[in-house]
Amino acid sequence: MRILGIETSCDECSAAVVDNGRTILSNIIATQIEAHRPFYGVVPEIASRMHTEWIIPVVKEAIEQAGIEENTIDAVAVTSRPGLIGSLLVGMCFGKAFAFSKGIPFIGIDHIEAHLYAPHLEQDISYPYIGLLVSGGHSLITYVRDFDDYDVLGTTIDDACGEAFDKVAKFYDIGYPGGVAIDRLSKEGDDRAFNFPKPSLHKGDHQYDVSYSGLKTAAVNQLDLFWNGEAEKSRANIAASFQRAAIDIIANKAIKAARDKGVKKIVAGGGVSANSYLRRKMADQKDIQAIFPSLKLCTDNGAMIAGLSYHHLKKGRQSELNLNASARVPLFKKNYP
C-alpha cells in the first residue's frame, strides 16, 4: 500500500510517500524556521499562510522525489490533531481534495501517536514498551501495547518540555529554535554550574506527571538563587544546567515507569528526542534498551504520518471527508484543579 503522508501541524510543511508503513520513498520537510526566527517562536498566522503557499509544491516534490506516478498512490493520510488549527486545516483541506479527486481513502492521523511511530519506520520494534514523547507542545510517558493501544501514564501539568527549552533560549538570546540552540551551547557548558529545581511532587496516580513551569521560571527569573558559587556564570553554563534539569525531570520518570511496569524498552519520539544529553543518559541505563528515531524523524515530518496510517488503513479504518481538525487532545494534557 502506497500512502501520501501530509503534516502541517506547526511550522514544518511536510509531505512523504511511504510504502507499506515502512519504506520511505520521499520525505520532504520544508521548514519555516527563518520566518519565525525574528519572533523567537511560531506565529500561527504566518505559519498557516506559508502552508497555503507551500503545500502544493511540497507535495509535488514528494511525488517527484519518490519517482512514482501520482495515480499509484493508494491513500492520503494527514495530521488532523493536535496542533495549530489554521496550520492543520491547510494540510487537511489539501489531503481531502487530493483523495477525493483520485477516489482513494483519506485518513486523519494523531500527530503525537505518529511521533511515537517514527522509530518503527527505521527498525523492527516489538511491543510492549514505554513511549516517551517530548515535543514543543507535549510531554508524555505512555505504556504502549500496540500502535493503537496505549495508556497515558503521565503528562505535563503545565508547560511542555520543548516549550521550556524554547522560552529559556529566548530569554537568554541563545538562538532559535531553542532546543537545538541550547543543546549546541550546552556542549561548552558545565551542567552542574546551576542547581535548577527538578520538581517531582506527584505521587500515586500522578507519579509519572511532570511540571516545567517551575524550572522555566527558575532558569529565567531566579538565577541567583540556584547558583553554584564555584562555577562561572555564563550562558553556556545556564544552558547546560537547564538542559540537564529539563531532561532529567522526564527521563527519570520514564525510566521509573519502565522499571515499575517491568518493561525493558523505552521508545522516544518528538523534537526533544533529538537532544544529545537525553540520548547519552538513556544509553547509560544498562537495564533498559532505549530506541530513538534518526534526527530527521524526530521533528515533524510526513513520513511518520504515512507510516502510522498504513496500520489503521490495513485494519479497514478511514476518515470521512467531513473530519474536522482539533487543536487539542484532552487525553494528552491534564487539568489539575
CB of 290 to Zn ion, least distance (A): 20
159: contact with Zn ion by CB under 5 A: no
Question: Given the rule CB under 5 A, which of 178-186, 191-199, 296-304, 320-328 is the region that contacts Zn ion?
Answer: 296-304
Q: Could you tell which of Zn ion, ligand KG4, none binds residue 28, using a CB distance below 5 to 8 A set by kind?
A: none
Our CA angle for 151, 284, 155, nearest 5°, is 25
Is residue 26 a contact partner of residue 66, using CB atoms and an 8 Å limit?
Answer: yes
Residues contacting 317, CB < 8 A, separation 6+: 107
Residues contacting 78, CB < 8 A, separation 6+: 5, 6, 7, 8, 91, 92, 94, 95, 96, 106, 107, 108, 109, 305
274: contact with ligand KG4 by CB under 6 A: yes
Question: Given the rule CB under 6 A, which of 124-132, 176-184, 197-205, 225-233 is the region that contacts ligand KG4?
Answer: 176-184
Is residue 8 a contact partner of residue 87, using CB atoms and an 8 Å limit?
Answer: yes
CB of 89 to Zn ion, least distance (A): 17
Footprint (CB under 6 A) of ligand KG4, residues 77-136: 135-136
Question: Given the rule CB under 6 A, which of 43-51, 162-170, 203-211, 216-224 is the region that contacts ligand KG4?
Answer: 162-170
Is residue 291 a contact partner of residue 264, using CB atoms and an 8 Å limit?
Answer: no
214: contact with ligand KG4 by CB under 6 A: no
21: contact with ligand KG4 by CB under 6 A: no
Q: Could you tell which of ligand KG4, Zn ion, none binds residue 109, using a CB distance below 5 to 8 A set by kind?
A: none
Q: How far apart are CA 314 and CA 37, in angstroms?
A: 40
Pairing of strands 129-134, 75-81: unpaired
- For residues 214 and 270, which CB has a smaller minimum distance to ligand KG4 in the complex? 270
11: contact with Zn ion by CB under 5 A: no
User: What strands, in cross-sheet order, belong to the sheet with 289-291?
Assistant: 149-155, 139-146, 129-134, 265-269, 289-291
Largest CA distance in the chain: 67
CB of 245 to ligand KG4, least distance (A): 13
Q: Is the dihedral of CA 20, 325, 54, 118 positive or negative?
A: negative
Applying CB under 5 A, among 11, 113, 163, 300 the residue interacting with Zn ion is 300
- For residues 19 and 183, which CB has a smaller minimum distance to ligand KG4 in the complex? 183
271: contact with ligand KG4 by CB under 6 A: yes
Is residue 179 a contact partner of residue 271, using CB atoms and an 8 Å limit?
Answer: yes
x/- string (CB under 6 A) for ligand KG4, residues 178-207? xxx--x------------------------
Footprint (CB under 6 A) of ligand KG4, residues 294-323: 299-300
137: contact with ligand KG4 by CB under 6 A: yes
Report which residue type is found at 115: H
Can you name the residues that pair with 150 across neighbouring β-strands?
Answer: 144
135: contact with Zn ion by CB under 5 A: yes
Q: Could you tell which of Zn ion, ligand KG4, none binds residue 293, using a CB distance below 5 to 8 A set by kind?
A: none
Residues that bind ligand KG4 (CB under 6 A): 10, 135-137, 162, 165-166, 177-180, 183, 270-272, 274-275, 299-300
